[in-house]
Structure 1
């Protein structure tokens, strides 16, 4: 597995392309903060997509019955390899980590 940062200038396009390739993916969503500890927001629900709205500076994870908003995102990391995408981690302006783990690696097309 290879974890790497996605530059902010690419978030909108990266997430739009990623969401196009979600078919039958499931995700677990975890939020980790010093004052809260690790909190499970969603456990293995159908994962519909993730998007970035630059106007409002919000990343939105969309799962079945869950819309999870990350306000003022500062960093985005993805864990991927030849098998596909394994997880997406977003760090917000308060240092809170929002982690979406995919049950099975999401197969992505080669970069263009």
Structure 2
């Protein structure tokens, strides 16, 4: 696990290059500040992308049913294992921390394959 601060000049390029790695991930967004306390802005939902627009100084997190924007970004910290990104901490100019937690979606077994496995006798491997 490695936690590192991204330099502002690299934000746009970093999130553009990470879009392929983040495809299929789910994201949860937590917002924390002295005024607000700790709040969950979004429970885990499919992530469509994250971009930084330097003209508007805004980080945009696109989820399945909504978009979460963070304006006046001051710092971005990432927590990663190799190329796998675990979370992103964004600090805005008001001191509000927004933490984007990432995870892979749960994968369920194919119902047809699971049904076929149940029809076989586990001792002999032959169908019942």
TM interval, shorter chain, is 0.7 to 0.9
Bigger proportion of residues as strand: 1
Distance 2:90 2:61 in 1: 10
Aligned to 1:72: 72
Computing the radius of gyration over CA atoms, which structure comes out larger, 1 or 2? 2
Aligned to 1:34: 34
Please tell me the root mean square deviation across aligned C-alpha atoms, in Å. Answer: 1.2
Higher relative contact order (CA 8 A, sep 6+): 1
Aligned to 1:99: 99
User: What TM-score, normalized to structure 1?
Assistant: 0.87
Distance 2:23 2:12 in 1: 19
Aligned 8 A contact 1:42 1:66 in 2: no
Cα distance, 1:23 vs. partner? 2.3
Bigger proportion of residues as helix: 2
Count, aligned residues: 104
1:4-43 equivalences in 2 (<5 Å): 4-43=4-43
Distance 1:38 1:100 in 2: 13
Distance 2:6 2:47 in 1: 20
Cα distance, 1:11 vs. partner? 0.2
User: What TM-score, normalized to structure 2?
Assistant: 0.77
* Structure 2 portions without partners, runs of 5+: 105-128
Runs of 4+ in 1 over 4 A off after TM superposition: none
